[in-house]
Structure 1
């Protein structure tokens, strides 16, 4: 049965911000994931020495991706949050991708990109085109390396702007409600 974290609304009714639950904070080598059965955050893996999450990583509640999990989000903000933190964010885009698991299964597994609603450092970012090509390459490289270390593959298929990211969330809400 879904828990409160998974049933929070994807978007705040009072404003245009989306809700995100942080699973893994920026700078962490530990990969945490919310487990709806236990209603706890569980350690799912450890990145190799020298690797860490470049930004806070979490999910949009009340959504579901093609992989069956809530939609993934990488959140740019000034300082790391903490596991379980609820953030209001502005979507700025998405890295649409195919992910091959170590068992050979290929699934669409996009990564939404967002900015914390209260960020000072990133407040000017409104769309993926506002990010430097180098930063986008580094983010994609992180996900490629992360999946490779687990025996899988991450293959970006398209970079999309804020409007497409919002459409991906709307689609994810429909999948979760079905």
Structure 2
């Protein structure tokens, strides 16, 4: 079995938070950018892969599947287990790719055996898709998963 690719991710929005933080590279600090509606919280730590750039001009997004949350700015070494290849339609109607990489922290005990998206419990996968869809709907945007990438495909995409 091929070894999953390890990367370092930076947490922007911790698990269980209803605030959206964005890292401001000029200020080298985090800025509160949004408060999610009542009942909507990040299901797992969400952040970015420093040193990368997606089609939207921001660093690539990653959600980290773990039994506990951390804090904004925390660096987490993660094993890439897959990605949700997605299209996001903005308020102005423009559609762009906005993939979500899925990682498992190397220190996770509960998810230590998970190396591919296929091994993730189906309920977690469904929860991730529903969260991103609802999160974007709240902002008047559409989020559509176009493909589920396995660990190898996701690592290749990350390497581009």
User: Normalised by the shorter chain, which TM-score bucket?
Assistant: over 0.9
Indicate yes or no: 2:42 matched with 1:53: yes
Q: Which residues in structure 2 correspond to 1:21-170 (within 5 Å)?
A: 21-170=10-159
Q: TM-score, normalization: structure 1? A: 0.85
How many residue pairs align between the two structures? 156
Q: Which structure: greater helix fraction?
A: 1
Q: Which stretch shows the higher mean deviation, 41-50 or 126-135? A: 126-135
State the superposition RMSD in angstroms: 0.9
Q: Secondary structure of the equivalent of 1:28?
A: coil
Q: Output one character per residue of 1:53-87: Cα deviation in whole Å (capped at 9) or x when no partner.
A: 00000111111111111110000112101000011
Structure 2 unaligned residues grouped into runs of 5+: none
Q: TM-score, normalization: structure 2? A: 0.95
Structure 1 unaligned residues grouped into runs of 5+: 1-15, 172-178
Q: Output one character per residue of 1:85-142: Cα deviation in whole Å (capped at 9) or x when no partner.
A: 0110000000000001112111100000000000001101000000122321111010
